[in-house]
Amino acid sequence: MKPSKGLLMVISGPSGAGKGTVCKELNKNNEFWISVSATTRSPRLGELNEINYYFLTKDEFKQRIKNKDFLEYAEVYGNYYGTPKSKVEEMLNKGIDVILEIDIQGALKVKECYPEGVFIFILPPSMGELKKRIINRKSETPESFMTRFKSAYKEINYVSKYNYAVVNDVVENAVNKIKSIIVAEKCRVDRIKDSILDSKEGLIHEQFYD
């Protein structure tokens, strides 16, 4: 069969579901390419250009928006954040699987321009566990905890826009499920039909006449 394009896997979910931890564990053997976002905010201590973010000026960012070089972007508190398209496409064309770890709004925008992506929603094992994780993450005030929790609760409704939902009860289990999803997606007839039928045509003459 012909070498095929890489898969674009979009890993997303509500705040507190643990998508960052899952992505890190998923790629511990560097089997995938994890997309690096672009931003106009200043680097924090220890953050490196091209590793943590592509740090751009606002003019550079706006020029890239004009050039349609973002799969998605958003303005948050006066700074821009976005997913550069050219690098993602370069990797996919090389046959390398790409992971985007991204929030729900971003994921839905990516889906508009890249519907053949694999959209995976990471779920907390229960709302109780989500509550604990939000509390543990930051020293939240009761008000800000309630805002984050309600927001995460609402975000779970977006699961219906995704292809897969994976409960992050134990990170290793969640990662194994995502690995299975990747194997399965590579067997999907929608993706590989043409190469199956091509390779069949290429072989028939040889087989009838040798």
Q: Which residues bind a second copy (CB under 8 A)?
A: 1, 120-121, 123, 126-128, 131, 149, 153, 156-157, 159-160, 162-167, 176-177, 179-181, 183-185, 187-189, 192-193, 196-197, 199-200, 203-204, 206-207
Is there a binding annotation on residue 128?
Answer: no
Give the shortest CB-115-to-a second copy separation in angstroms.
15
Is there a binding annotation on residue 13?
Answer: yes
Q: What is the CA radius of gyration of the chain?
A: 20
Is there a binding annotation on residue 202?
Answer: no
Query: For strand 70-76 and strand 79-84, is the pairing parallel, antiparallel, or unpaired?
Result: antiparallel
Is there a binding annotation on residue 20?
Answer: yes
**Among residues 38 and 182, whose Cβ is nearest to a second copy?**
182
**Among residues 46 and 115, whose Cβ is nearest to a second copy?**
115
User: What CA–CA distance (Å, rounded) separates 158 from 12?
Assistant: 10
In this structure, the dihedral spanned by the alpha carbons of residues 71, 76, 81 and 82, taken in order and rounded to 10 degrees, is 0
122, 23 in Cβ contact below 8 A?
Answer: no
Is there a binding annotation on residue 117?
Answer: no
Residue 30 host element (H or E): none
**Among residues 58 and 179, whose Cβ is nearest to a second copy?**
179
**Among residues 14 and 82, whose Cβ is nearest to a second copy?**
14
74, 67 in Cβ contact below 8 A?
Answer: no
User: What CA–CA distance (Å, rounded) separates 28 from 18?
Assistant: 16
Give the shortest CB-36-to-a second copy separation in angstroms.
27
Give the shortest CB-84-to-a second copy separation in angstroms.
28
